[in-house]
Amino acid sequence: MADARRAPLKDQTDISGARVLIVEARFYDDIQDALLEGALAELKIAGASHDVLTVPGALEIPAAIAIALDAAAANGRPYDAAIALGCVVRGDTIHFEIVSQESSRGLMDLAVSRKFPLGNGILTVNNEAQAWARARASELNKGGDAARAAIAMLRIKRRLAKA
């Protein structure tokens, strides 16, 4: 039986040639490698090109996306979608709540205010074992899920622009 989360999207609006920005927080390098692997595999299937921008942590992802979107537009090479990848592991302080909530809020604000296709692949987990289960392409593949979300939103945007 096929996994419903990985079923092909029904909307097959062409996005080949789309430019996608991936902004990744490299706080947990090995976990990040797994998230990136999943995202890149989905972009390859969709025929989209990509650029990768690395930031120190999850809190910096929304600002980096905003900066990159403005710079790419100013240079005449706008991005069509973005993917945020990172990992926040719960610790002994409230820092986890601040980082997970504010990075998510920043991404949502960007997507809504700019009407911009964005996939959120920032893991918020209790421990590294949970992070690995979500990051590996052979398991929950949250990097791939974030790429599929960005692709789905880009397809919706393009389809409705033609209507």
Q: Which residue carries 């706080």 as its tokens? A: 27
State the Cα–Cα distance between residues 133 and 115, nearest whole angstrom: 31
Contact present, 9 and 54 (Cβ < 8 Å): no
Residue 92: Cβ within 10 Å count: 6
State the Cα–Cα distance between residues 61 and 64, nearest whole angstrom: 5
Q: Which residue carries 């690995």 as its tokens? A: 132
Residues 5, 6, 44, 95: which is the catalytic one? 95
For the question of residue 95 being annotated catalytic, the response is yes
Contact present, 37 and 146 (Cβ < 8 Å): no
Rg of the Cα atoms in the chain: 15
Catalytic residues: 95
